Amino acid sequence: MADMKKANSSLAKIREQIDKVDQEIIKLLNKRAELAIDVAAIKRKADLKFHSPEREREVIEKVSSTNKGPFPNDALKFIFREIISASLSLEEPLRVAYLGPEGTFTHLAALRHFGSSAKCLPVQSIRSVFDAVESCKADYGLVPIENSNEGVVSYTLDMFMDNELKISAEVLLEVTHNLLSQSGELKKVKKIYSHPQAVAQCKRWIETNLPGVPVLEATSTARAAELTAKHADSAAIASELSARLYDLKFVEKRIEDNKHNMTRFLVISKEFPKKSRKDKTSIMFSLQHKPGSLYDALNPFEKSGINLTKIESRPSRRKAWEYIFFVDLEGHIDDEKVRKAIEKVKKSCLFLKHLGSYPSHEKPKNE
């Protein structure tokens, strides 16, 4: 009994210290917000761009590099992303167009990259994302470009052919599927809603745990969650974000058959950022239809020691048997060896277009 009293007394003292620290954090956050408002006022008066992704990246890199623990760095980066997002929203929240509806993995990727205080604008197509940014209805757009299981999103590549928007960032998101319902009880599930792609990625789990239960097609995983919120005997295969948006419970988490399913998204805007410590450059080009043309075009990269991380080809849609090549390479266009190599590549091409240079996504340890 004496040990318990002593422990309770010690806990009370430590909790009192925690409460004081929490109050100090609140004061400092508000002080930081006031300074952010001052910065916004100066930018507005000087007609400067209010959002600086370079400064944002610098802040997050600085706090993580100076963190001595025990607070984990990945959590610290997430917290500061939210602090910056909230500070921006006090003056002018970022407007981010994404392929909707709400609750999709694209929506989740937008929140991960821009923070929950950004104004996320769901639109009905990838083309509409590009149009929203081009018409200044959105500051940024976010579109899927490839999935580790399903491959490249061809329509996104096609949009870059006729559009002058730049890639300003990339986001890698682990795709995890969850079975959601109103009750959270497996025995009450009489039908399943989801997008065909999500169903295919969870086929083995469904056959093992819900054999014979009908699976109904939905236009998206978010739409599946919306339908499940209206039918007590149904379940949806959807994201964790959908569970929050539609007030659903988890029947089972992570039911995907492949636990290493990643989707890559591109952030598009009217300009690309300055150099960071680790960048990626994307280009597209077309070649004459003759033997060795692709080898000749890519040879300058090999000679310059530049690593190509991706190459895709698409029909040009302008001429039969003419192809457009999309290439990702390590480095920034402002790097001398990258710039010179691209200039040499251009000499072998019918045309070459720089799509953007941007920071390579660093995968957090807990993703």
Which tens digit of pLDDT belongs to each residue from 252-286?
999 999 888 889 999 999 988 888 889 999 999 99
CATH number of the 178-252 domain: 3.40.190.10
C-alpha span between 119 and 168 (Å, rounded): 18
Q: Give the pair of three-digit tokens for residue 357.
A: 């240079």
The catalytic residue positions are 263, 265
Cis omega (within 30 of 0) for bond into 122: no
As a whole number of angstroms, the distance between CA 178 and CA 197 comes to 14
Confidence label for 290 from pLDDT (cuts 50, 70 and 90): confident
Which residues partner with 312 through β-bridges?
Answer: 326
Q: Is the pLDDT higher at 341 or at 363?
A: 341
Better pLDDT: 140 or 363: 140
Task: For 70-128, write each residue's pLDDT tens digit.
Answer: 999 989 999 999 999 998 888 778 999 998 889 888 999 999 999 999 999 999 999 99
Residue 201 has pLDDT above 50, yes or no: yes
Domain boundaries of the chain, sorted by first residue: 15-90, 95-175, 178-252, 272-359
State yes or no: cis peptide before 101, omega within 30 of 0: yes
Mean pLDDT of the chain: 90
Q: Give the pLDDT score at 319.
A: 65
Q: Residue type for 90, please?
A: L
pLDDT at 1: 66
% of the chain beyond a pLDDT of 70? 97
- Kindly tell me the sign of the dihedral angle through the C-alpha atoms of 198, 200, 201, 205: positive
pLDDT grade for 367, boundaries at 50, 70 and 90: very low
Beta bridge mates, 329: 281, 308
Which CATH architecture describes the domain 272-359? 2-Layer Sandwich (3.30)
The answer to whether 169 and 279 are in contact (CB under 8 A) is no
The pLDDT score that the predictor gives to residue 320 is 58
CA dihedral 198, 226, 127, 148 (to 10 degrees): -20
Model confidence at 363, in pLDDT bands (50, 70, 90)?
low
Instruction: Tell me how far apart the alpha carbons of residues 19 and 256 are, in angstroms, rounded to a whole number.
Output: 41
Q: Which residues pair with 286 in a beta bridge?
A: 324, 351
* Residue with the two structure tokens 């009489």: 190
Q: Phi, psi at residue 128, to the nearest 5°?
A: -65, -30
Residue 364 has pLDDT above 50, yes or no: no
Classified by CATH at the fold level, domain 95-175 comes out as: D-Maltodextrin-Binding Protein; domain 2 (3.40.190)
Distance CA 193, CA 228 (A): 7
Lowest mean pLDDT among 28-37, 145-154, 343-352: 145-154
121 half-sphere exposure, CB direction, 13 A CA radius: 20
Q: Tell me, which fold does domain 15-90 have in CATH?
A: Chorismate Mutase Domain, subunit A (1.20.59)
Sheet holding 279-286, edge to edge: 308-315, 323-330, 279-286, 351-359
How far, in Å, CA of 311 to CA of 142, rounded? 21
> In the structure, what pLDDT confidence band is assigned to residue 317 with cuts at 50, 70 and 90?
low
Angle of the 336-346 helix axis to the 293-304 helix axis, nearest 10: 160
For residues 229-248, give the mean pLDDT. Answer: 94
Whether 15-90 shares its CATH topology with 272-359 is answered no
Contact present, 173 and 108 (Cβ < 8 Å): yes
Distance, in Å, from the CA atom of 164 to the CA atom of 253, rounded to the nearest integer, reads 41
Structure tokens of 1?
A: 């009994």
Q: What is the 3-state secondary structure (H, E, C) of the chain?
A: CHHHHHHHHHHHHHHHHHHHHHHHHHHHHHHHHHHHHHHHHHHHHCCCCCCCHHHHHHHHHHHHHHCCCCCCHHHHHHHHHHHHHHHHHHHCCCEEEEECCCCCHHHHHHHHHHCCCCEEEEECCHHHHHHHHHCCCCCEEEEEEEECCCEECHHHHHHHHCCCCEEEEEEEEECCCEEEECCCCHHHCCEEEECHHHHHHCHHHHHHHCCCCCEEECCCHHHHHHHHCCCCCEEEEECHHHHHHCCCEEEECCCCCCCCCEEEEEEEECCCCCCCCCEEEEEEEECCCCCCHHHHHHHHHHHHCCCEEEEEEEECCCCCCCEEEEEEEECCCCCHHHHHHHHHHHCCCCEEEEEEEEECCCCCCCC
Mean pLDDT of 22-32: 95
